Structure 1
Amino acid sequence: MDIKANLEAVKKTFINPDCLLVAVSKTKPLADLKEAYACGIRDFGENKVQEIQAKQPEMPEDTRWHMIGHLQSNKVKYIAPFVHLIHGVDSFKLLKEINKQGKKIDRIIPVLLQIHIAEEESKFGFDAKEIQEMIQDPEFTALTHVSVQGLMGMATFTEDENQIRKEFKSLKSLFENLKKETLPAFVEMKELSMGMSGDYLIAQEEGSTMVRIGSAIFGSRG
């Protein structure tokens, strides 16, 4: 597995050079992460709290850890001190817990709100109506220790590019609509995290600012 060659090959295909590459290192050994780090990668995506906890002390201090999987409220406290960005905030309950843990350690924790765009029941996230209801909730406006930086979404797992594009377009549309609204000071629509190894080029065409790529860099998970 030539991680350096894989990274170069992926970056060559980027349509938007300013789009952040988050290397999805879940299930991968530390040696692979260190190799990617040596090639200039600083942003790593993990989907299990136990794994991110184990890897974090073993990597250089300037490594930026992205929690990209479904996060349970009772696990937030373990990553609150160091996580760079939580991508998958899929409920108000989880957001309030992140705020609570941030308050305990006096740290403002950056997050993205996960929107359910796929035609799959297995995916998590808010719909557009739920987002609108939440941002008007007094409990939401009272949050003090989270920084909402944008939205995240996962397209349907399908070969149908039109379907994927339609879903990314809907997420971008919601993102742009929210940008026009008067939002609390801790909410800023600047990041749109969409696109993975199989669909990151479509995602970039549709306005993604951040893609999560694992198998195209590290190979398929055994």
Structure 2
Amino acid sequence: MASTSTTCAPERAAELAESLNSVRARVTAASRDRSPTLVAVSKLKPASDVQGCYQHGQRDFGENYVQELCDKAPVLPEDIRWHFIGTLQSNKAKTLASIPNLYAVHTLNSTKAATALNKGVPDTRATPLNVLIQVNTSGEDSKSGLPPLTTTSSSELVDLARHVVTDCPKLHLLGLMTIGSLDASLNEGDENKDFETLTRTRDLLQEALRGSGADGGRWGEDGKLLLSMGMSSDFEAAIHAGSAIVRVGTSIFGSRK
């Protein structure tokens, strides 16, 4: 378990500032006139690293493990926006949803988990909890997520989206998330097929939601579902492909032991 001490040594703070500024510059260069959200993925890193990045203006952080997030959140600034990007287990949904400054869950993949999250959100929460449905765009058995769409017909993905929008008033369907295949990420000469697949799935899902009369105010931003795709190895390509959220860990914090 990562340390919960929030004291960041000056040398480490300087190192984090340099890497964070480098990633920010690359995000800006790739995004042109858009402003994608940079989520600094701090899993297995000490709370002091989060504090070090926070001191340099970073506010969005990602964690993969519920217990680690529960340990870090209370000892770090309240205005941090936490993003949960790990495997979502229904039996831990209530604990996860109780974190006051949890901003989004990126890995929703079942109606059972959606229902559990909705029930777990405290009545005192001022705004609905953002959720993104995870899509397995590469078809790899090692990856979680629902199959991508090829039509607007009823499917597990469409049904889950409708369930969130119509039956989970404490949740807000913000968009879709994918973890692209390593081969697609490393092949810089070609368009990333996983990113193309998620974009096409997003367009079809929006059409399906509008066709079913789902309230546009209950999903997306300004009538459009957001895409969360791109990590350290491919976030620039993801931004070029239209990603609104990139999740970067190693390029900011260094490798994990």
Note whether the superposition's TM-score is higher than 0.5: yes
Report what 2:118 is aligned to.
99
* Residue of structure 2 aligned with 1:13, choices 26, 30, 52: 26
- 1:200 equivalenced with 2:235 (yes/no): yes
Paired with 1:134 and 1:9, the residues of 2 have a C-alpha distance of: 38
Amino acid of the structure 2 residue aligned with 1:42: R
SS in 1 for 2:116: helix
- 1:134 equivalenced with 2:169 (yes/no): no
* Residue of structure 2 aligned with 1:49, choices 38, 41, 66: 66
Uncovered stretches (5+) of structure 2, i.e. residues with no partner: 1-11, 150-154
Report the CA distance shift for 1:179/1:216 in structure 2 as closer, same or farther (over 3 A): same
Answer 1 or 2: which has greater strand percent: 1
- 1:59 equivalenced with 2:72 (yes/no): no
Deviation at 1:176, TM superposition (A): 2.3
Report what 1:176 is aligned to.
203
Report the CA distance shift for 1:4/1:118 in structure 2 as closer, same or farther (over 3 A): same
The answer to whether the 8 Å contact 1:22/1:45 transfers is yes
SS in 2 for 1:84: strand
Provide, for residues 2-58 of structure 1, a one-character-per-residue CA deviation record: whole Å limited to 9, x for no partner. Answer: 111101111111211501100000000111111100111001100000000000011
Report what 2:193 is aligned to.
166
Question: 89-98 vs 163-172, which deviates more?
Answer: 163-172
Amino acid of the structure 2 residue aligned with 1:19: P
Paired with 1:77 and 1:162, the residues of 2 have a C-alpha distance of: 44
Paired with 1:160 and 1:49, the residues of 2 have a C-alpha distance of: 33
Report the CA distance shift for 1:220/1:171 in structure 2 as closer, same or farther (over 3 A): same
Report the CA distance shift for 1:49/1:163 in structure 2 as closer, same or farther (over 3 A): farther
Q: CA RMSD in A?
A: 1.9
SS in 1 for 2:93: helix
* Residue of structure 2 aligned with 1:186, choices 218, 241, 244: 218
The answer to whether the 8 Å contact 2:135/2:176 transfers is yes
Paired with 1:31 and 1:164, the residues of 2 have a C-alpha distance of: 38
Amino acid of the structure 1 residue aligned with 2:160: M
Report what 1:152 is aligned to.
177
Question: 193-202 vs 157-166, which deviates more?
Answer: 157-166
Amino acid of the structure 2 residue aligned with 1:172: T
Paired with 2:38 and 2:103, the residues of 1 have a C-alpha distance of: 14
Which TM-score applies when normalising by structure 1? Answer: 0.91
Uncovered stretches (5+) of structure 1, i.e. residues with no partner: none
Question: 171-180 vs 36-45, which deviates more?
Answer: 171-180
Amino acid of the structure 2 residue aligned with 1:66: H
Amino acid of the structure 1 residue aligned with 2:146: F
Amino acid of the structure 2 residue aligned with 1:174: T
Identity of paired residues, percent?
36
SS in 2 for 1:69: coil
- 1:221 equivalenced with 2:239 (yes/no): no
Paired with 2:206 and 2:174, the residues of 1 have a C-alpha distance of: 11
SS in 2 for 1:8: helix
* Residue of structure 2 aligned with 1:212, choices 231, 239, 247: 247
Report the CA distance shift for 1:163/1:79 in structure 2 as closer, same or farther (over 3 A): farther
